[in-house]
Structure 1
Amino acid sequence: MRVKNLILGILPVLLLASCGKKQEATAKAPVFETWVTSKQNAELQFSYPVTIKGTEDVEIRPRLEGFIKDIYVDEGSVVKKGQLLFTIDAPSTEKDLRTALAAVMSAKAQVNTAKLNVDRIRPLAEKNIVSGVQLSTADNSYQTALANLDQANAMLANARASRSWASVTSPVDGVVGTITFRKGSFVSSSYVITTVANIGNVYAYFSLNEKDLNTFLKNLPGATQTEKLKNTPPIKLVLADGTEYPESGKIQTISGVVNVSTGSANFRVEFPNKAGQLRSGSSGKIIIPEQLNNVVVIPQGATFARQDKTLVYKVQGDSVVQSVVSVIPLPDGLNYAVTDGLSEGVRIVKSGVASLTNGAKITAK
């Protein structure tokens, strides 16, 4: 009876001790949410700063020296090819034109005189009244007069062309840029008065270093660069204020030579600009998408950094093991595409990894 009472007395103590051990075990194995890796398709986005130019950015320079007489357009005006922009007051052109006209009239008179002389001598030479030498001399004088007339006409054409240069017209359809000189300013061919930019379509220029260029081309289908450019995806443009331009662009060219000083190659992307929203000289950034097929995608919260490496915790039974992975951030800012270090069907800790250590015991959720 005494033994029975002793057992009954000890039993509660044993039960309490057992519960305590279970609670202690539970405390040593905290619960962590886990993630089983799977493969899916994902899209990467690479951004590069760009400078935007019109498809034709033409510097407007006068072809003669003089003073700006009149300005017929304003900055930002939309102009057509051949439209008058400025007139240059160059008195020397009028003087040269009058001189050239006078020279033509004089040359014509000399031609007429020389021809009359030939016509007078020819019948006399045929009757041997005068020598053939006199006829040849008269004929040579006539040919010289004709040549002088041709020269005078050429000078007249040049004088008229010079006078026409006093009217400066737009060489292309486009938009007038900043006008750097005003009425009365002295200008010459070394001065840029303004720029006219054709912005019906625009070019966005960016560059890639040699390593990124090789990677970019390697990932595009096609045997030649021309074929690869045809297979480039539509390019997005983000403007300086952060808004996305509604039209997509297409890569047109890649420079054939890598710049020695910068080690980069230049790209040209063409964007339609029917509404005229894009202006020559503006800036932004382009977004180049790249499709990744059948890759492992994991939450960014499942990773942590150590020195220059990215790691995850793989779940093995009731403990975790650190594992190095190579990842690329996805545009959503929440996930990574894994390029190396994880295969499909692996369970990893999804969140709270900062509180874990290698080999720690957990309860997977």
Structure 2
Amino acid sequence: MNALKLPKFTLPLFFILTFFISCKKEEQKAPPPMQAPFVTVKTEDVPIYKDFAGQTFGELDIELIARVDGILTGIFFKEGQKVKKGQLLYTIDPLEYETKVEQVRGQVAAAQSTLANADEELKRIRPLAEMNAVSKRELDAAVAKDKAARSNYASVQASLKNQQIERSYCNIKSPIDGVIGLSNARLGDYITKLGNSSRLNVVSKLDKVRVQFTVSESDYLKYQKRTKEGERITDLQLILSDGSIHPEKGTLNFSDTKIDPTTGTVTIEAQFPNPDGTLRSGQFGKVRVLIRTEKDAIVIPQKAVTELQGMFQVSVIDNQNVIQTRVVEVGPKTGIDWIITKGLKPDEKVAIIGNQFIQPGSKVVPVPYVPDTKQIASSQNN
């Protein structure tokens, strides 16, 4: 049998059909529009906070300083624990001071005896002088002797009191109810009333704590202006070193009377209640101050804003779901958000593109943006 022969134009037609079919399949495989998370622009009142580094102090921090010399013979507390006013904390060997007390007591007894004799002598001579039985000189001598005896007796009594006070310094007691720190001295140490060895410990009253922080001169002037206008800063928070927020709000105590010329800052003190005693003296943290409240502010996530050479841009999704780039002006940051002062209107859709490669003019599928709750919590503590 003869082989089947096809017309000459059949082969080119075959290749043309194959090409169009291939193109059609490629058109069908075109990728769908990418998803673009978005937020709807809204207005809200936004509190603006500013953080300042600070350090805590007790409501009272009283240093225990030795006022006599001697060997430390007793420690009657547990370091870091609560102590009561009048509680015995340290004892210093009192033998030397007890000896001095007894010596002066002997002097007091002798002075008292001398005074008694002088008084009796004056009582005997005065009636005789009135009868001219003794001379006026003898009376004057008796009066002078009595005065001298009284003065000497008062002097040695004062000396006894002073020695008793010095003896009492051998027992060091807590001046307040508070928490006592680490002891700077141990049993057997020789304590002196001069130098560093005299500083035994610190007792702190911690029902409230003081937090001192510094602010710039410009911030201080703004604060003074608000104060003159009748405003008061009442929203103070204490951010601890672990990022947690102290549950009690603080109040301003005072500001320093001068500005430090070397740093251009002024020291301000705030006070925070400490009912559970978690705060101690010497901790570092941040005082978060409510500076002002932005009324009807437009706020979008910081992720939605791109900065390029000092120019800020956002990606807006228009009514046809197409990405449009828009230049905006920004205000202060607040948490994970950014206040937009110009360039956006309420109810517009702003895309959170992030690392996605979406060019301006691209058609997208808008999906609601879900913020990271961990990131929100972290930003509130920073």
Cα pair 1:312 1:325 within 8 Å, conserved: no
Aligned mates of 2:122, 2:303 — CA distance in 1: 106
Supply the distance in 2 between the matched residues of 1:206 and 1:179 (Cα, whole angstroms): 28
TM-score by length of 1: 0.78
Match of 1:199 in 2: 206
Structure 1 stretches lacking a partner, 5+ long: 1-15, 17-22, 24-29
Q: Provide the residue aligned with 1:245 in structure 2.
A: 246
The equivalent residue for 1:223 is 228
Q: Partner amino acid for 1:223?
A: K
Cα offsets for 1:296-331 (capped at 9, x unmatched): 223323322123443446899999675351321122
Q: CA deviation at 1:346?
A: 9.3
Deviates more, 1:203-212 or 1:169-178: 203-212
Inter-partner Cα distance in structure 2 for 1:268 and 1:84: 33
**Which of 68, 71, 77 pairs up with 2:81?**
77
Distance across 2 between alignment mates of 1:124 and 1:97: 41
How far apart in 1 are the matches of 2:38 and 2:185? 70
Paired with 1:196 and 1:326, the residues of 2 have a C-alpha distance of 50
TM-score using structure 2 length: 0.75
8 Å contact kept, 1:304–1:353 = no
Q: Percent of aligned pairs with the same residue?
A: 26
In the TM superposition, 1:116-265 aligns within 5 A as 116-190=120-194, 191-218=198-225, 220=226, 222-223=227-228, 228-229=231-232, 231-233=233-235, 235-265=236-266
**Distance verdict in 2 for CA 1:343–1:320, change over 3 Å:** closer
Q: Distance in 1 between matches of 2:350 and 2:116?
A: 107
From the superposition, tell whether residues 223 and 55 of structure 1 become closer, same or farther in structure 2 (CA, over 3 Å): same
| Cα shift readout 1:100-155 (whole Å, capped 9, x = no counterpart) | 11121111111112122212222322222322122112101111111111111111
Partner of residue 333, structure 2: 329
Aligned residue for 1:69, secondary structure, equals strand
Judge conservation of contact 2:59–2:204 (CA < 8 Å) in 1. yes
Q: Aligned partners of 1:92, 1:208: CA distance in 2, in Å?
A: 53
**Higher mean C-alpha deviation, range 151-160 or range 203-212:** 203-212
Aligned to 1:115: 119
Letter of the structure 1 residue corresponding to residue 63 of structure 2:
E
Report how far residue 343 of structure 1 moved: 6.2
Deviation (angstroms), 1:182: 0.6
Supply the distance in 1 between the matched residues of 2:362 and 2:36 (Cα, whole angstroms): 7
Tell me how large the CA RMSD over aligned residues is. 3.4
**2:201 counterpart letter in structure 1:** T
Other structure's SS at 1:81 match: coil
Question: In structure 2, do the counterparts of structure 1 residues 201 and 130 end up closer, same or farther at CA, with 3 Å as the change threshold?
Answer: same
Partner amino acid, structure 1, of 2:148: T
Superposed CA deviations along residues 164-220 of structure 1, whole A, max 9, x for unmatched, are 1111000111111010111111112332111111111112222211122233454x4
* Matched positions, count: 331
Secondary structure at the aligned position of 1:293 is classed as strand
Structure 2: unaligned runs, 5 residues or longer: 1-19, 21-26, 28-33, 367-382
Partner AA of 1:287 in structure 2: R
